[in-house]
Chain A
């Protein structure tokens, strides 16, 4: 069975980088073995599709412009008008489950699991690092856990999801740009100390 290779393979050196402080400012790790599907509904079907999806993945139904809905392993959120992204472990075989759930008159499904490299950024200086790349106001009062936003990062369209209390963020980077972006993230994060976790 062929292995799925990360776009960052061989380039992330686990351990501490940059200044050494008692507590690391930023931790950075790649989220592996997750699938990503895009569900494209139509204006008149999107509400029903969101409910169908919720039933399929065991979460609440996502709402347009609202926060991501999450279970322990699955996440769903609106990425744009009538379009929902859903992530789950590869072992969930999400594509098989959702791929034939709807006729195209109700919704269409596009596989995007290989199209994005997901990097989880956490630590006391996570927001400082993100501020150097993204024009997203990550003040927890305005961008609480579950909130998702898309923005340009050095001209590349990326998506940021605030995963959990305390400031852990998932950054969805187009795979072909991932190594370049992550190299820049690490370089900038070194000023607070950056721990790369395998």
Chain B
């Protein structure tokens, strides 16, 4: 126990056999297994743990739980560094490294403490007032300094070496909290046979019962209940698990801190686990958080919540002060006072309430002095409390009424009452918080559809009542979830804590200084340095709504989330406005109430699994052939096949040239493929495509265009008739999923009378395009049972057969490249077999492999539109495709495409572009402007697709230009403002190559 000056020789729930070493701000300390970082620091006499957000005031621990606003530290180092960890939530382990935040060089001597002198200038709204209006631009100058001076911890920059995971879970009853109410609820539901998950954010089960002295009778109750729960196979107890949000449909977000209490996770163990839990019912028994009372300098290290003082004493055997002043407005703080006294401290209670004589007698019988009807008006001391200024106090007016005296002390334990933790009941907007005039706190007004509330969360602060409520809630929850077993009787016991003074609650939300005492900051939100004067200022400036107050003052921001500040702030605003608290209202809560690491939400979806990877059936084959892949959505598409030291430009030019001269093969498996079958399939296609389909013969393919309902082009592709009622529809790669869902939607909602099934077969079929003058000869060498002659297999024909080696094939004579070309499909498992076959026969025909870069060049040379042109904003007329649209039938989009604005001749329409200086390069996305200027605004249009044309020997492009081909022959400027490029270009036909289409019919 060396150095642990505040550690008691006995007591607590720590493991004194296991001593652990840790470091804080570089200094080594000792603690015990079972300690938190906060308890171990306090045991070692470290009260000052950091500096405040704005004023750099010295700060220590206020609480012993997740609500901790000031004892925020950075733990671990390197990639595991985690900032803003509440020290009371950091479980101690051997080797823990931690450090203070927002203090340089140390919390004890912090250079930026000078900010405290400027606090009159750093009031609420500082940023709005200083950096808006004429001085707005000065923000850029001051921002780096302000960001350095203000704030909390610093995130790690090194990669996090740990793994995290995401889990789906299901239960009949979720119980949140393991105090007397939660444990009783879990017991009732578990006994009834329901599947139960009990989530407790602390390491041990028991909630407030663990704040009782170790070995007291309630430990027997706790032990028995936990043992029974552990014996029930349908009950899962989850300590170290925080329920951070309630969402629709009984969905809850949980974070389980699997390995945060270790230096490193075990092999393959996640550090944290994000659990998406679906529950039929929930019992919320999340307890309550103690409320501070604002008084002068109430942020000094050594000012702590009374319940926290008791928690440190009884859980960790740490005495937070030897000479304590306990300032309270309710009975609960007396437990801390009495326990401190029993531990050897000198204790004086300052109670804002006028106590009755019996109560005073009872208090004094414990050896505790009491000043009834008094308040602490100011904490004395700088980096630690050295005294308390005490004055008579009138609860009715909320003011000190007489002269003040000073009490020497090293600890001020405060209790302004308790705030039920009802945020989980409000996340869905169900239960609104309602003000309870007796308890002076917000309680949930009613229960959500699947909720049951129990214990302190609904304002029942006694253990016996919590047990009764919890058990009833668990019983009802189990029944409503469908469990039919008996819950038996509630575990009511005399062993549970009891014995309040019966003096009720008083409302004390502020203690202004008594006459003659200089006013000091009275902090409401200790984390964000928001004080009573800030609330007053907000009121003066008209920010009287609690929503405005919050945003103007930054109250309840960051990890604080109103845990210790919310009620005080709205009470002070109510007083300033002369209203009752319910009339002022409260801000709502939204998840997460307690911080959740982004890594936890990502789970295992990191690195290679950030998104799933989609590989074509030819991927492995392409990979072996040296392909360079291009990420296109989730697909890995074959980009180009370099030879030697070729880069993409050299490779695609060679590949393009070879396709025009001999034959090439490109993987086109990423096209969306949809099987359309049924007696009404032709009618269905007739309705979704702009062109007609009823007269398409079996064994033929047709190019089709779909519009959206608003008349703009949706997608294009070819569809082949395989049998009378069977079609094979292809879509673009990008729109495949959208088209599929669009077709399903139409069949299910608009035309349920049509007998048609659509099924995605994108994964079923792999496809390659075989293109080039030698394509027919190559395929003729490969197929076993298809007549490939021009007469037998004409353009837009479709044939089903097999290749040598019994490779099943569907061959469609269609061309995207403008060459004699075929799209050859095979069931995906035969992908490699098809490529082997083509390559085996290909050498004699000059076969080359090509990728999408060359594919793009080939289609641009032919003026074929693709996703760059079908961008969701273009019409049939824009792309020169209006003649395809049937005038004899309705189709999706047929009405709205005829709106006058969409038919306007003034629209930007498809053109071809070539540079006047053939050596110039047209860049993608260039803006088209009048030749010679002015080069302003959106101009005439923009370049959609560009390539170097190996056939023409210069750069070419497609674009959308106002007036379209009516301006053929005109010179305009293609400009690239970011680089200052201006390239004069001529408007030409978009069909740059083989305008008559002789090659594809060859």
Contacts and interface: CB of A to CB of B under 8 A. Distances in A.
Q: Is the interface of A mostly helix, strand, loop or mixed?
A: loop
Interface in B767-816: 805-807
Nearest to A135: B168
- In this complex, the member of B603, B675, B828 whose beta carbon has the largest number of chain A beta carbons within 10 angstroms is B828
A150 interface: no
A18 B267 CA distance: 9
B806 A116 contact: no
B830 A2 contact: yes
A176 B614 contact: yes
B833 A5 contact: yes
A152 B828 CA distance: 22
Given A131-B169, A139-B195, A113 B827 contact: yes
Given A108-B725, A154-B605, A179-B613, A174 B678 contact: no
Interface stretch (B219-227, B531-539, B557-565, B615-623): B615-623
B211 to A, nearest CB: 35
B269 A191 contact: yes
Interface in A149-198: 154-156, 174-177, 179-181, 183-184, 187-188, 190-191
B831 interface: yes
Contact of A114 (B195, B616, B828): B828
B167 A104 contact: no
Contact of B827 (A40, A114, A181, A191): A114
A6 B168 contact: no
Contacts of B759: 38, 40, 110, 112
B617 A175 contact: yes
B761 A174 contact: no
Contacts of A134: 168
Given A132-B604, A184-B604, A188-B604, A174 B763 contact: yes
Contacts of A1: 805-806
A184 B806 CA distance: 34
B267 to A, nearest CB: 6
B276 A135 contact: yes
A22 interface: no
Contacts of B669: 176
Contacts of B394: none
Nearest to A193: B268
Nearest to A83: B757
B829 A108 contact: no
A101 interface: no
B751 to A, nearest CB: 14
Contact of B620 (A2, A9, A115, A175): A9
Contact of A177 (B165, B169, B612, B806): B612
A18 B269 CA distance: 11
Contacts of B829: 4-6, 113-114
Given A132-B166, A179-B613, A108 B726 contact: yes
Contacts of A180: 609, 612-615
B278 interface: yes
Nearest to A6: B829
A2 B805 contact: yes
A105 B807 CA distance: 31
Contacts of A4: 827, 829-830
A112 B166 CA distance: 31
Interface in A90-133: 104-105, 108, 110-116, 131-133
B615 A112 contact: no
Nearest to A137: B170
Contacts of B605: 154
B365 interface: no
Given A2-B806, A6-B829, A111-B764, A105 B755 contact: yes
A187 B827 contact: no
Residue of B170, B617, B832 most packed against chain A (CB within 10 A): B170
Contact of A105 (B267, B611, B616, B679): B679
A154 B609 contact: yes
A180 to B, nearest CB: 4
Contacts of A113: 764, 827, 829
Interface string A37-70: 0101010000000000000000000000000000
Contacts of A2: 805-807, 830, 833
B463 interface: no
A21 B616 CA distance: 37
B241 to A, nearest CB: 15
Contacts of B720: none
Interface string B269-281: 1100000101000
A23 interface: no
Interface in B43-81: none
Given A4-B829, A135-B168, A190-B268, A155 B755 contact: no
A83 B757 CA distance: 9
A81 B269 CA distance: 42
Contact of B763 (A10, A133, A175, A179): A175
Interface in B515-549: none
A176 B167 contact: no
B837 to A, nearest CB: 8
A38 B761 CA distance: 11
Given A111-B764, A132-B166, A176-B615, 6 more contacts: A104-B678, A114-B617, A115-B761, A176-B828, A184-B609, A187-B604
21 contacts: A5-B617, A5-B831, A5-B833, A9-B620, A40-B757, A104-B679, A111-B761, A112-B761, A114-B617, A114-B765, A114-B828, A115-B762, A132-B167, A135-B168, A135-B278, A154-B605, A174-B763, A175-B764, A180-B609, A180-B613, A180-B614
Interface of A: 1-7, 9-10, 18-19, 38, 40, 42, 82-83, 104-105, 108, 110-116, 131-137, 139, 154-156, 174-177, 179-181, 183-184, 187-188, 190-191
